[in-house]
């Protein structure tokens, strides 16, 4: 007889209620790329019930039947229909004032009408992003979960779905915890919920799970390598076609994996000429498609070379943050970000501090913008915790698996401003190594700290990086801009440095001559002073202003800030440009 049957109050004393679910987390290895295949959107109204104390897991809300309240034999604490109707995707923080700062779990429920298609068809739930972790239940049965607040996951529903109506429940939880990535302290807003698309993907019994195709680095732009991974360890072959390159080739597949290198001389992708090629890979009944740009990014000494030509990355950082959408991005919001980057004269965006929506790199591919994509190994992390490393590495590998074919992404950032300890060094060197193993075609970077004793750019992590990121705020947090010159004079990094952040707060409309903090005038002067040093330092090969838009941060509570970090070149309305925007645009034009 079960514990509950003996003691109906057992759940009150059971703190092991969440044990076992983590074993059902899916990872990058099981991620299914969309591959241009049709999906059924599950966007729209879902019932949502907040669950601050994890009652849903303690009392197994997911296992309760649909008996109407009038016929309950015993009282309950959960009733699906009593939940609020909310739109998915969305951040719960912005749906009701009383939910603004909610940090806990929430139960999303909707009906899923299932009619199986061709025999052997498989069904996958594709969740593009939920912060921070999620558990999925179909008809009361746990089918899997995921952790990582900004990366996608694929959960197979095939065995759990019944013909006709099914109850689909997703528990999302956004608590900040010391063992998570990021940890519980960061300078952005902790949104929660199913904030990106939730879709159903139907696939044949054996399908293409992931595929990668790129120029072979160092091949003189004349060789393309591709890998294809199937859903199952079967032998056979796939056919890749790139019609515009006259490529049609068979790829031998052994135990579910195939590799092929073929000669080709594609028109190279670049910001000036963002050429994309239609690529198709067929295996059995499955067709995978993508539009891929072929380019080479590498470093040589202290320069960064794109297709063999030195480049300077002139740009800005940007958060996923919106006054009405929160962390949810839609296409209009993303296209506005890229338009503003263009108006700034930028060729580069740093997607801070976590994987952004998949559409950002897809549009950047079309528009010809270079991107630094990163995982939120941010400030303090529980660097000695193996589970925390596994979480960070999985977020990195999910980002790489999702965006591996995006020409616009030129570097993977493995961390930001992390104090140097032996545990941090091992953790981040491990991530850098893993990034290169997963993707030898891109650079690896991190925003490093400077050596304060020597006041120089020195970080042993740099031995594992291709590009050293430096966040510097000389003229803001450290008043004396001369310290930037001192840092440059003391440093000889031996590899390219990108100023991965530099900026000053400004409240729009607050003006003043000289170093008036939070004034538009000082923010503008700040960039003139930065560029005067950066432009004449040969080993600085990029600069990302911090940042494009003001964004929510609860750490910021002065009268100038009122819950926003105001280093944006544009206010949080994403319309009002501050004086610094035009000044920096001019500086970039002159730098070009």
The H helix count followed by the E strand count for the chain is 9, 30
The interface mask with ligand GCU, positions 99-118, x = CB under 6 A, is --------------------
SS3 460: helix
3-state secondary structure 364-418: HHHHCCEEEEECCCECCCCCCCHHHHHHHHHHHHHHHHHHCCCCCEEEEEEEECC
The nearest distance, CB 501 to ligand GCU, in angstroms, is: 5
Spatial separation of the C-alpha atoms in residues 571 and 68, rounded to whole Å:
49
Spatial separation of the C-alpha atoms in residues 188 and 318, rounded to whole Å:
11
Q: Other CB atoms closer than 10 Å to residue 508's CB: what's the count? A: 18
For the segment 182-201, give every residue that binds ligand GCU (CB under 6 A).
187
The nearest distance, CB 542 to ligand GCU, in angstroms, is: 16
First vs last C-alpha separation in the chain = 75
* Binding residue count for ligand GCU, defined by CB under 6 A: 9
The nearest distance, CB 476 to ligand GCU, in angstroms, is: 8
Which CB sits closer to ligand GCU, 296 or 501? 501
The pair of structure tokens assigned to 512 is 């003043």
Using CB under 6 A, which of 59, 126, 190, 471 touches ligand GCU?
471
Which CB sits closer to ligand GCU, 111 or 554? 554
Which CB sits closer to ligand GCU, 58 or 578? 578
Using rule CB under 6 A, residue 501 touches ligand GCU: yes
The nearest distance, CB 444 to ligand GCU, in angstroms, is: 18
**Prior bond of 547 cis (ω within 30°):** yes
Spatial separation of the C-alpha atoms in residues 56 and 18, rounded to whole Å:
10
Half-sphere exposure of 234 (CA within 13 A, CB side): 13
Q: Considering only CA atoms, which of 254, 259, 189 is closest in space to residue 224?
A: 259
Which CB sits closer to ligand GCU, 55 or 187? 187
The nearest distance, CB 546 to ligand GCU, in angstroms, is: 6
Q: Other CB atoms closer than 10 Å to residue 384's CB: what's the count? A: 13
The pair of structure tokens assigned to 539 is 């080993």
The nearest distance, CB 456 to ligand GCU, in angstroms, is: 19
The nearest distance, CB 22 to ligand GCU, in angstroms, is: 28
The interface mask with ligand GCU, positions 528-567, x = CB under 6 A, is ------------------x------------------x-x
Element (H, E) at 432: helix 422-438
Which CB sits closer to ligand GCU, 76 or 185? 185
Which CB sits closer to ligand GCU, 155 or 448? 448
Question: Which residues on neighbouring strands pair with residue 127, listed in sequence order?
Answer: 153, 198
The nearest distance, CB 467 to ligand GCU, in angstroms, is: 16
Which CB sits closer to ligand GCU, 57 or 534? 534
In a 10 Å sphere around its CB, with 0-12 CB exposed, 13-18 middle and 19+ buried, how is residue 463 labelled?
A: exposed
Rounded (10°) angle between helices 386-403 and 358-367: 40
Which CB sits closer to ligand GCU, 99 or 526? 526
Spatial separation of the C-alpha atoms in residues 33 and 214, rounded to whole Å:
16
The nearest distance, CB 417 to ligand GCU, in angstroms, is: 5
The pair of structure tokens assigned to 219 is 């091949």
Which CB sits closer to ligand GCU, 191 or 277? 191
What CA–CA distances, in Å, run from 217 to 240, 414, 443? 20, 21, 11
The nearest distance, CB 353 to ligand GCU, in angstroms, is: 6
Which residues lie closer than 8 Å to 164 by C-beta, 6 or more apart?
A: 113, 114, 115
Which CB sits closer to ligand GCU, 302 or 471? 471
What CA–CA distances, in Å, run from 1 to 4, 5, 142, 277, 462? 8, 6, 22, 62, 59
Spatial separation of the C-alpha atoms in residues 376 and 183, rounded to whole Å:
9
Which CB sits closer to ligand GCU, 362 or 428? 428
290 in Cβ contact with 297 (< 8 Å): no
Which CB sits closer to ligand GCU, 122 or 574? 574
The interface mask with ligand GCU, positions 50-89, x = CB under 6 A, is ----------------------------------------
Which CB sits closer to ligand GCU, 242 or 487? 487
Which CB sits closer to ligand GCU, 472 or 525? 472
Which residues lie closer than 8 Å to 499 by C-beta, 6 or more apart?
A: 469, 470, 471, 472, 530, 534, 540, 542, 543, 544
For the segment 383-422, give every residue that binds ligand GCU (CB under 6 A).
416-417
The nearest distance, CB 132 to ligand GCU, in angstroms, is: 18
| DSSP label at residue 435 | H
The nearest distance, CB 245 to ligand GCU, in angstroms, is: 41
The nearest distance, CB 567 to ligand GCU, in angstroms, is: 5
Which CB sits closer to ligand GCU, 187 or 366? 187
For the segment 294-353, give every residue that binds ligand GCU (CB under 6 A).
353
Which residues lie closer than 8 Å to 39 by C-beta, 6 or more apart?
A: 126, 199, 200, 201
The nearest distance, CB 506 to ligand GCU, in angstroms, is: 12
The nearest distance, CB 571 to ligand GCU, in angstroms, is: 15
- Site of interaction with ligand GCU (CB under 6 A): 187, 353, 416-417, 471, 501, 546, 565, 567
């Amino acid at each position: 007889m079960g514990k509950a049957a003996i003691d109906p109050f057992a759940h009150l004393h059971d703190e092991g209620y969440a044990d076992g679910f983590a074993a059902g987390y899916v990872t990058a290895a099981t991620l299914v790329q969309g591959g241009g295949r049709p999906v059924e959107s599950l966007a729209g109204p879902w019932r949502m019930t907040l669950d601050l104390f994890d009652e849903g897991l303690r009392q197994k809300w997911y296992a309760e039947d649909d008996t109407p309240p009038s016929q309950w034999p015993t009282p309950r604490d959960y009733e699906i229909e009593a939940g609020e109707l909310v739109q998915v995707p969305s951040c719960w923080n912005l749906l009701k004032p009383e939910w603004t700062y909610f940090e806990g779990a929430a139960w999303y429920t909707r009906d899923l009408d299932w009619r199986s298609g061709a025999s052997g068809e498989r069904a996958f739930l594709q969740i593009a992003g939920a912060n921070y972790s999620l558990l999925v239940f179909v008809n009361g049965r746990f089918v899997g979960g995921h952790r990582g607040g900004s990366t996608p996951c694929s959960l197979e529903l095939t065995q759990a779905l019944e013909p006709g109506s099914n109850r689909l429940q997703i528990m999302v939880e956004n608590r900040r915890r010391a063992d998570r990535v990021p940890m519980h302290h960061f300078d952005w807003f902790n949104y929660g919920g199913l904030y990106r698309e939730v879709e159903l993907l139907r696939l044949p019994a054996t399908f293409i799970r992931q595929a990668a195709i790129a120029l072979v680095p160092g091949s003189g732009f004349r060789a393309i390598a591709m890998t294809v991974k199937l859903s199952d360890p079967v032998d056979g072959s796939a056919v890749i076609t790139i019609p515009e390159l006259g490529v049609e080739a068979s790829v031998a597949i052994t135990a579910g994996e195939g590799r092929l290198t073929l000669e080709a001389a594609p028109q190279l992708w670049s910001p000036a000429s963002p050429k994309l090629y239609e690529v198709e890979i067929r295996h059995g009944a499955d067709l995978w498609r993508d539009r891929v740009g072929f380019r080479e990014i590498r470093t040589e000494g202290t320069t960064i070379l794109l297709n063999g030509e030195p480049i300077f990355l002139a740009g800005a950082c940007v958060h996923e943050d919106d006054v009405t959408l929160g962390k949810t991005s839609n296409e209009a919001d993303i296209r506005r970000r890229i338009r503003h980057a263009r108006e700034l004269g930028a060729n580069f965006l740093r997607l801070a501090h976590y994987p952004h929506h998949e559409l950002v790199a897809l549009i950047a591919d079309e528009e010809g913008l270079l991107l630094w994509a990163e995982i939120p190994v941010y400030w303090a992390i529980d660097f000695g915790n193996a589970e925390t490393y596994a979480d960070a590495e999985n977020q990195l590998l999910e980002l790489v698996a999702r965006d591996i074919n995006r020409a616009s992404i030129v570097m993977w950032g493995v961390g930001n401003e992390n104090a140097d300890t032996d545990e941090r060094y091992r953790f981040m060197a491990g991530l850098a190594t893993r990034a290169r193993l997963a993707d030898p075609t891109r650079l690896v970077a991190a925003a490093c700290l400077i050596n304060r004793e020597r006041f120089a750019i020195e970080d042993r992590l740099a031995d594992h990086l291709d590009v050293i990121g430096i966040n510097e705020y000389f003229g803001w947090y450290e008043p004396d801009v001369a310290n930037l010159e001192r840092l440059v004079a003391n440093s000889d990094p031996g590899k390219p440095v990108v100023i991965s952040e530099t900026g000053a707060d400004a409240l729009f409309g607050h003006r003043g001559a000289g170093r008036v903090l939070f004034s538009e005038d000082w923010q503008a002067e700040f960039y003139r002073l930065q560029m005067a040093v950066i432009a004449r330092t040969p080993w600085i090969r990029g600069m990302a202003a911090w940042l494009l838009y003001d964004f929510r941060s609860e750490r910021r509570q002065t009268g100038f800030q009122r819950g926003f970090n105001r280093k944006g070149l544009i206010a949080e309305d994403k319309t009002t440009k501050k004086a610094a925007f035009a000044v920096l645009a001019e500086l970039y034009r002159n730098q070009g």
